[in-house]
């Protein structure tokens, strides 16, 4: 492919990603290279087009979607996002495993396609669609992402978010302290203390100061909001266009993969 798009990876960025791929993926012979397949998927992420509208410079849309679906279902995109996150933390002088996690959610509108399943109404935000639940580190890098219908209460979804983190706990041995806003108060705090006490996990609620009715920047909570702002730069994430919530999560991890490849290239 000779034509370059704003989503196209540079040689250095692709090298960073390729070094983290399993050896059998890199050495296996295939008609289309892994690089052009990644570029095609990132084109969809950046420009928000449907799969059938992928430019002719890329492989057929059915082939591109097949690889996206495969990497989504086998956990490659999530694993790659976590691995690059650890590399970036080390490059800037931090421990590979974060010690603090921050939790928050974002409600986004859906479309006619995504509205066919897992869709709800967030009465607080007045949004019909889905809700992205993120657990990030202090740099704003995603540790765990989980997407539900928008009618899920934060504290209910939080228990599933911690359960998902529990499966990856060995990748984050230093992660002990978590901060969340008032939407997670109550039974979730007791749930974490009861179920994960042996791991030393502790959930703390950051409350808004009393008698203040104006907007104030609260400690720790703004970091997740910044991550949401990064994701909003990708048109595919401006709404939830996906039939399956697993695809929504995969695009969140893809956005971070591209972000980290760019940042690691500059260091």
Measured between alpha carbons, how far is 155 from 182 in angstroms, rounded to an integer? 9
pLDDT at 146: 96
Token pair for 43: 């084109």
Residues 131 and 106 sit within 8 Å (Cβ to Cβ): yes
pLDDT at 112 (0 to 100)? 83
For the chain, percent of residues with pLDDT exceeding 70:
94
pLDDT tens-place string over residues 66-82: 999 999 999 999 999 99
List phi, psi (to 5°) of 18.
-60, -35
Give me 125's structure tokens. Answer: 């935000």
Confidence at residue 233, expressed as pLDDT on a 0 to 100 scale: 93
- Backbone angle region of 75, left / alpha / beta, with phi > 0 → left and psi within -120 to 50 → alpha: left
Residue 153's φ and ψ, nearest 5 degrees, are -70, 145
Query: Does residue 128 have a pLDDT over 80?
Result: yes
pLDDT average, residue stretch 142-147: 97
Residue 245 predicted with pLDDT over 90: yes
Q: Over range 110-119, report the average pLDDT.
A: 81
Can you spell out the DSSP letters for 39-88? HHHHHHHHH---GGG--TTSSPHHHHHHHHHHHHHTTHHHHHHHHHHHHH
What is the sign of the dihedral through the CA atoms of 6, 7, 8 and 10? positive
Task: Give the pLDDT of residue 221.
Answer: 74
For residues 225-237, average pLDDT: 95
pTM of the shown model:
0.94
Question: Tell me, what's the pLDDT at 219?
Answer: 67
Average pLDDT of span 24-50: 93
The single residue listed with the structure tokens 């994430």 is: 237
Q: Which residues contact 66 (CB under 8 A, 6 or more apart)?
A: none
Query: What mean pLDDT is reported for the chain?
Result: 92
Q: End-to-end CA distance of the chain, in Å?
A: 27
Q: Is the pLDDT of residue 226 over 70?
A: yes
Q: Is the pLDDT of residue 12 over 80?
A: yes
Task: Look at residues 153, 139, 144 and name the one whose alpha carbon lies nearest to residue 107.
Answer: 153
Retrieve residue 99's tokens: 């010690």
pLDDT at 1 over 70: no
Q: What is the number of residues in the chain?
A: 267
Which structure tokens are listed for 195?
């179920």
* 239 CB-near residues (< 8 Å, 6+ apart): 108, 109, 110, 111, 114, 129
Q: How many CB atoms lie within 10 A of CB 151?
A: 15
Mean pLDDT of 83-95: 97
Nearest 5°: phi and psi at 229?
A: -65, -40
């Amino acid at each position: 492919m000779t034509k370059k798009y704003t989503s196209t990876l540079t040689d250095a960025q692709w090298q960073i990603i390729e070094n983290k791929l399993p050896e059998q993926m890199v050495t296996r012979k295939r008609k289309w290279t892994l690089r052009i397949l990644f570029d095609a998927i990132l084109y969809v992420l950046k420009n928000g087009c449907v799969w059938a509208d992928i430019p002719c410079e890329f492989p057929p849309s059915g082939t591109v979607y097949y690889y996206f679906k495969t990497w989504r279902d086998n956990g490659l995109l999530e694993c790659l996002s976590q691995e690059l996150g650890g590399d970036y933390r080390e490059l800037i002088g931090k421990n590979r495993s974060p010690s603090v996690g921050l939790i928050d959610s974002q409600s986004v509108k859906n479309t006619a396609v995504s509205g066919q399943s897992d869709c709800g109404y967030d009465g607080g935000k007045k949004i019909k669609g889905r809700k992205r639940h993120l657990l990030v580190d202090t740099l704003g890098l995603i540790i765990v992402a989980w997407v539900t219908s928008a009618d899920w209460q934060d504290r209910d979804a939080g228990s599933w978010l911690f359960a998902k983190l529990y499966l990856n706990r060995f990748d984050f041995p230093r992660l002990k302290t978590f901060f969340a806003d008032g939407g997670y108060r109550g039974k979730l705090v007791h749930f974490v203390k009861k179920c994960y006490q042996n791991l030393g996990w502790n959930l703390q609620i950051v409350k808004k100061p009393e008698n203040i009715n104006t907007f104030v920047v609260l400690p720790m909570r703004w970091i997740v909001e910044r991550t949401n702002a990064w994701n909003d730069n990708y048109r595919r994430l401006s709404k939830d266009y996906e039939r399956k919530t697993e695809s929504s999560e995969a695009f969140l991890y893809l956005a971070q993969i591209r972000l980290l490849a760019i940042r690691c290239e500059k260091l």
